[in-house]
Structure 1
Amino acid sequence: MRNRATWLHSIIASGMLLAASTGIMASAAQAQTGYTATTGFGTFYKPFQADSPWNSRPVNPFLGTYQLRKPLLNPDWIPSISDGAYSVGVFMARASDGPMTIYGKPGTAGVGDPDTGQYHDITIPRWPDNVVPATGEDGHAEVVDTVTGVIHSFYQLTNKNGRWTATMYAWTRLEGRGFGDPAHWSQGARSAGAPPTAGLIRLHELNDNKPHYEHALAISLPAHTLSNGITRASYVYPATTADTNAWLNTGKIPLGTRLMLPASFDTSTLSTAALRKIANTLKLYGAYVVDRNYDTAFSLYVEKGANFNIMPNGQWNTRVVSDLDRIRAGMREVLGADSWLDGNGAPKGGPGGKGLLSMRGDWLLPGTSTPSGAKYDTWMQAVKFPNTARKITTVNYSNGISKVAGSNPAARTPMRFSAVTAGGAMIRLQLWKGYSLAYDSGYLANGSEVKFEWPTGAPAALSVRLLAESGVNTASHARGVLEPQ
């Protein structure tokens, strides 16, 4: 259950309209043969890259000892596996679908956008006519644009008399990781920064005659099982965020934790095929903790419209209740593994998605508080310049290194800063210790990179300054990528 009560508390309202960007465009021909394919990764039917956290699995995992807790206030409540009010529908947008503007809730300045840090209306380039949000308080819905390969993720989406409104919007790529990264830290409407598409049991998977689902599942836990960010981190890799009131939690499991059943768990004794398939998945891939629920030992999510019921014939079944509690009692936190395999069964390297530098924030004329005309574009993850006859030089003083806990580099870490630009634009990184310049990359053109060691000193003492220059007589944009070597 996403809680963003204070998450944008310091943001100035903006009337910015998000329009289609060349940064996410692809040809319709590519989309219909790529993103709608029924095989391969990074598609509507099998989202995210093969080595994403969702599609990878551990070999000989090491498990912890902490047990998921039963409900505190409602002892008769059983774990939830359903396509009900708190699940999500996944809707395919095609090239023939028209645009739709999503507005903020009454009394707000627009839809909350954690990536830009602003409230504004959102115009989605393609919007299918069958979108129906979940009926629960979270009101999740996922629109997958098969032209651009972008998943548009909404929180508290509603339609009243043809006018769509939402509380929050985020996006991620079909061929991405399915979690945020330090630079683009919120990529979906789950509390952990993941889209609700990730880890969802999809309609086309329910009756595919396979013994397990071929990806990790998404799981939510109650506040009395989740950690609070004080005595233990409220989230861990690959999660990039947590609820703003995580301090209310009283348990020990952070968001981003992978939970698994041990190899010794006997799935053959479970009473139904549906439970056996889920338990087999929890033994092989596990489930990532992505959200908080209310007093339910655990919840797993099935795509809306499945008419899924864990009870055979919809009748209360005490064996199923017992089986669900066995699964609860058996799941444990994954602390490590001998190795990892990607979705193709190939050895998986180290964690990806470590870019640390966001382009968000105010882009000003140097030495002033005057806007320069350059704007941050979330879909391009870049600073975007208009077509101009005179070069624009702009600076971002507000930018810090990642919001993601634990991602700041240690002193003397070998780093790489590289430029991704178009239209003749250039990008520059400066690191300052107070009024002293600790590092300056100089201006870099597209494809250029520099290597350096991260300066010594406390992370809080370092400030980041980004500078960019536009091209001339053409639209241009610039992005800097900062990552460990």
Structure 2
Amino acid sequence: MYFSKSIPRSKLIVFWVGLLSLNITGVSAKEFGTYATPFSVNSLWNSKPVNPKFKEFQIPTSIYYPAIQQGKYSTGVFQTKSSDPEGTIYGYPDKKGVWDPDSEVFKPFIKIPHWPSGVVPAEGSDGHADVVDESLGIIHSFWQLKLINGKWVAAQYAWTKLNGTGWSDPAHYFQGARAAAVPSSAGIIRQHEMDDGKEIYEHALAISLAHNALSKNPTYVFPATSADSDADKTNSGDIPEGALLMLPPDFDISRIKTPKLIKVAKTLKTYGAYVVDRNVGTPFVVYVENGSNVYSLKKANLLWDSQAASELHLIREGLRQVSTAEGWLNGNGERFTPDKNLNLLSMRGPWRLVSGNTLGEFSTADQAVNFGKTASPVVQENISGRSMQIVNWAKPKLGDSYKLTIKSSGGAKLTLKIVDKTSKKIVFQSKELGNGESEIFTWPADDFSTILTITSGVGDSSSLSAELLKP
């Protein structure tokens, strides 16, 4: 390319900047929401805290050394192709089916549109495996996945959006196989990152702690929506699941000599690690993708490298929970504020028929109740209160304003009632709302339950979902 000598230097600089922005040079911006780089640019997995402040609690020692490892309790990450056949995952022979925590029911089987060959679940009792379908934008996350007599079985299945936050929301409160309700692949050190020539892993890491480090109250904090079921009874530490752990700015990286640990330590100073699970007897485990045989902190004779072991304890002593941060830089280095105003209302059942012939069914994929062809309206009701799973950091507050908004097709409509559990009276009833309609109201009770009533449309099909947010 030829430039006239008469062109001012300042204009040449602007021209080159323009070329870079158009990607003519071939330097591409990082692409998020992919198999290689899951979750959105604003996901906390892909973001750095600005000027974090720290709590004082130190992760205690336990039975074993701290670890950064693949293996029995990590996971493999398997990518589908559009040509892959459909897969069917059944429940274990002695179980009711596959537990679907979003629907809160056991299902006899789960259909996966594309099932790749070569899926290998982790060998431990958790049997983790995540299957990533870029064509559908979905991560399928399994717990206790196993191949038995040529048939795939699992104890639990959950899914999350590949371009989503990588965390659950109060309505769809369980979106993965980890105790914190995230996919087991979220935050793990991936095979393609290990020898990429970069000084750090460009995302927050996933970490588990032993019971003597984890908190019993609260058992989890934002952005987590869940924790181990017995956490309030067996934990004895101070760190809840969902907490971000980091090495503070004054941590001396020069004390770490093992190259693989240097990269991890630099990542822990920059992005940190989110607590996603509990382990047995290991002060902390940073998870590495299964199949990453090059990542080992053991010598050829399979004995622990004493230097690496000592440095792992230095990291353990240095890690602290982030209490606050001035802000966040997303994956593109732009300031943003993580959104905690997330949907509170699920369309999960159980539903009972009030009138009509056939119940509409909750679809976890659509987060909606779907009706087939009807000659007259179907009216169904959910009085269980399970339309709202109370997440501790998102519980509606008495006196605050909330906005109920409906998205429906085919003429379906919804009414929300709120019952005060103390007086056992209905203290709020919305209008019957159809597609695009909303109602703002003041939350009427502290101890409450909900009743949802849906009326289908008439005709070939109808569907309804809803959002409940602060306006």
TM-score normalised by length of structure 1: 0.86
SS at match of 2:262: helix
1:360-375 map, 5 Å: 360-366=348-354, 372-375=358-361
Cα distance in 1 for partners of 2:318, 2:299 equals: 23
**Equivalent AA in structure 2 for residue 447 of structure 1:** G
Cα distance in 2 for partners of 1:235, 1:372 equals: 39
SS at match of 2:45: coil
Match of 2:237 in 1: 251
Q: Would you say 1:45 and 2:36 are equivalent positions? A: yes
Q: Would you say 1:147 and 2:135 are equivalent positions? A: yes
Match of 2:443 in 1: 454
Larger Rg, first or second structure (1 or 2): 2
1:126-275 map, 5 Å: 126-228=114-216, 232-246=217-231, 247-275=233-261
Q: Which runs of 4+ in 1 moved over 6 A?
A: none
Q: Would you say 1:382 and 2:372 are equivalent positions? A: no
1:414-453 map, 5 Å: 414-433=401-420, 434=423, 436-453=425-442
Q: Would you say 1:481 and 2:470 are equivalent positions? A: no
- Deviation, structure 1 residue 372: 4.5
SS at match of 2:353: coil
TM-score normalised by length of structure 2: 0.89
Match of 2:384 in 1: 398
Percentage of matched positions with identical amino acids: 44
Match of 2:100 in 1: 113
What is the aligned counterpart of 1:86 among 65, 70, 73?
Answer: 73
Q: Would you say 1:61 and 2:52 are equivalent positions? A: yes
Cα distance in 1 for partners of 2:410, 2:48 equals: 41
Cα distance in 2 for partners of 1:106, 1:63 equals: 48
CA RMSD across the alignment: 1.9
Contact in 2 for aligned 1:364/1:371 (Cα 8 Å): no
Contact in 2 for aligned 1:361/1:399 (Cα 8 Å): no
SS at match of 1:143: strand
- Comparing 94-103 and 135-144, the one that deviates more: 94-103
Cα distance in 2 for partners of 1:180, 1:330 equals: 29
Cα distance in 1 for partners of 2:32, 2:415 equals: 35
Gaps of 5+ in 2: 1-27
Contact in 1 for aligned 2:44/2:338 (Cα 8 Å): no
SS at match of 2:224: coil
Cα distance in 2 for partners of 1:160, 1:475 equals: 39
1:317-356 map, 5 Å: 317-352=305-340, 354-356=342-344
Deviations 1:384-430 (A, max 9, x none): 11121222122211134333124211112111111122233222222
What is the aligned counterpart of 2:297 among 300, 307, 310?
Answer: 310
Deviations 1:251-306 (A, max 9, x none): 11111111000011122331122111101110011101110111001001111111
Cα distance in 2 for partners of 1:90, 1:191 equals: 18
Contact in 1 for aligned 2:39/2:162 (Cα 8 Å): yes
- Deviation, structure 1 residue 318: 1.9
SS at match of 1:127: coil
**Equivalent AA in structure 1 for residue 72 of structure 2:** A
Cα distance in 2 for partners of 1:177, 1:350 equals: 10
Contact in 2 for aligned 1:78/1:297 (Cα 8 Å): yes
Contact in 2 for aligned 1:362/1:375 (Cα 8 Å): no
- Deviation, structure 1 residue 378: 1.1
**Equivalent AA in structure 2 for residue 70 of structure 1:** T
Gaps of 5+ in 1: 1-36
Deviations 1:205-259 (A, max 9, x none): 111111111111010001111112xxx2111111111111111111111111110
Cα distance in 1 for partners of 2:455, 2:163 equals: 30
Cα distance in 1 for partners of 2:285, 2:392 equals: 26
